[in-house]
Amino acid sequence: MKFFIDTADIAEIRDLAQSGMVDGVTTNPTLIAKSGRNIMEVIAEICDIVDGPVSAETPATDYETMLKEGLKLAAIAKNVAVKVPLTPDGLKTCVALRKEGIMVNVTLCFSAAQALLAAKAGASFISPFVGRLDDININGLDLIDDICTIYSQYDYIETEVLVASVRQPEHVTAAARMGADVATLPPKILRQLYNHPLTEKGLEMFLADWKSTGQSIL
Ligand code: G3P
């Protein structure tokens, strides 16, 4: 499973990129607003730090403007993936950008029917939002299972399932069991994946016992 980091915070991206765990970055208008940065500048900076796909979302909602914005965003760097919402104009923009060989991440997906449309539009990634479905008492992981099952019926579908709106480590491991290609993780969640109390306890015991040997390797 590939891990993308879901943030536009440069310091966080720099720190986590050194872990070797980061395969890409996703942003959206909310994360850009949170960063307080100019989108063109911060996306360029992120693309310098991370070689993998960096998602930058078009804020427009009409096809003509989304296409112009998407082309401008894609011109920032070769690893930009233009993010478009799952709307008729968004998917029309996806088709046009894919014809230019530009990566497209179709976002705000909440149903398998929508995911089918995104695959037909040739999306590079589909972003189903697990946490926001959980928020309204619908099991978001069921959608991931549905999409992975449907996509696996057709060899020609190359759209990668990019699990978004991840709120807890279980979202990651459950989606991995279902065969999702990517999970985009808030920095906090990626850090939580490392943690287990028995690892901590076991390491403490190893270090104490090693100390008692009085040995050193270096
Ligand atoms: O990439 C989509 C993600 O940022 C949305 O997460 O927690 O706002 O639903 P959330």
Question: Tokens at residue 97, please?
Answer: 């950008």
204-215 residue pLDDT tens: 999 999 999 999
- Which residues are catalytic, by number? 83
Q: Tell me what pLDDT residue 198 has.
A: 98
User: What pLDDT does residue 118 have?
Assistant: 98
Q: What is the CA radius of gyration of the chain?
A: 19
- Pick the residue whose CA is nearest to atom 3 on ligand 1: 165
Q: Identify which of 129, 171, 189 to mutate to test ligand 1's pocket (most ligand atoms within 8 A of the CB).
A: 129
CA distances from 54 to 49, 74, 121, 134, 201 (A): 10, 10, 20, 26, 37
pLDDT of residue 80: 98
Contacts of 140 (CB under 8 A, 6+ apart): 128, 129, 130, 131, 132, 133, 134, 165, 171
Q: How far is the CA of 195 from the centre of ligand 1 (A)?
A: 23
Atom of ligand 1 nearest to the CA of 131: 9
- What is the CB neighbour count within 10 angstroms for residue 153? 7
Nearest CA to ligand 1 atom 5: 165
Q: What is the pLDDT of residue 194?
A: 97
* Residue-level pLDDT at 2: 98
Q: Residues 119, 84, 66, CA angle at the centre, nearest 5°? A: 125
The alpha carbon of 166 and the centre of ligand 1 are apart by a number of angstroms equal to 7
Contact 181, 162 (CB under 8 A): yes
**Hey, is 69 helix, strand or coil?**
helix
Distance 129 CA to ligand 1 centre (A): 7
Protein residue with least CA distance to atom 7, ligand 1? 165
The tokens describing 188, both together, are 């906090």
Q: Is the CB of residue 24 less than 8 Å from the CB of residue 4?
A: yes
CATH value of 2-213 in 3.20.20.70, 2.160.10.10, 3.30.1330.10, 1.20.58.220: 3.20.20.70
Q: How far is residue 28's CA from residue 72's CA, in Å, rounded to a whole number?
A: 16
> Ligand 1: which residues within 6 Å by Cβ?
6, 26, 28, 129, 131-132, 164-165, 184
140 close to 110: Cβ distance less than 8 angstroms: no
Q: What is d(CA 182, CA 216) in angstroms, rounded to the nearest whole number?
A: 42
* Other residues' Cβ atoms within 10 Å of the Cβ of residue 60: 18
Q: Taking the domains of the chain in order of start, what are their residue ranges?
A: 2-213
pLDDT at 11: 98
CA distance 174 to 147: 14
- Of the candidates 35, 39, 40, the one whose C-alpha atom is nearest the C-alpha of residue 10 is 35
Residue 214 Cα to ligand 1 midpoint, Å, equals 50
Mark residue 185 as left, alpha or beta (left: phi above 0; alpha: psi -120 to 50; beta: remaining).
beta
The H or E element containing residue 108 is strand 103-109
Probe target for ligand 1 pocket from 130, 132, 163, 166, with the most ligand atoms within 8 Å of CB = 132
Spans of the chain below 70 pLDDT: none
d(CA 161, CA 151): 9
For residue 4, the CA-to-ligand 1 centroid distance in Å is: 12
